Amino acid sequence: MKVNKLIIHHSLTKDGRVNDWNAIRRYHVEVNKWKDIGYHYGIELVGDEYVIQKGRAEWRVGAHTRGMNSKSLGICVVGNYDLAEPPEAALNLLANLCAKLCKKYKLKPVDIETHHKYASYKTCPGKLFPMDKLRAKVRELGV
């Protein structure tokens, strides 16, 4: 798989302090009947700390953005960002992950895109998700 985009999503659910990633994986496997969770990575609050959750292996085609799955990695930030901006700690962790992946795949911050760009009927990753701020943070990390 040739990765040329990172596509950012939100779960559209409230992020609790428990591991929501496993619930998302169960839904994708048991309800959608997919082989695994559709995303490659997730960012979520577990306890008092934001963590990076692993989904599908990077070399496996995702199931997150119709028409882009074979050329992108999907990253889901657990939460509903139609209602509020993601917390700064989540955004910082996401920026670090995106910077690492951009360096690995020789991408630029402009290659970090919203799910909404490819599914205009959705707001994903949320109306209040600060994409420009995320890209700026990735640039600050040397990408």
Spatial CA neighbour of 16 closest among 64, 48, 41, 40? 48
Q: What percent of the chain has pLDDT over 90?
A: 89
**Residue that is written with structure tokens 């119709």 in the block:** 66
Task: Give the homologous superfamily in CATH for domain 5-140.
Answer: Peptidoglycan recognition protein-like (3.40.80.10)
Backbone region of residue 10 per phi and psi (left: phi > 0; alpha: psi in -120 to 50; beta: other values) = beta
Arithmetic mean of pLDDT, 121-142 = 97
Q: What is the pLDDT of residue 47?
A: 87
Query: What was the pLDDT predicted at 20?
Result: 83
pLDDT digits (tens, 9 = 90+) for 16-54: 655 689 889 999 999 999 999 999 999 999 889 999 999
pTM above 0.85, yes or no: yes
- Averaged pLDDT of the chain: 95
**Helix (H) or strand (E) segment spanning residue 24:** helix 21-26
Tokens representing residue 131 in the block: 């994409």
> Could you please report the per-residue DSSP string of 67-109?
TTGGGEEEEEESS-TTTSPPPHHHHHHHHHHHHHHHHHHT--G
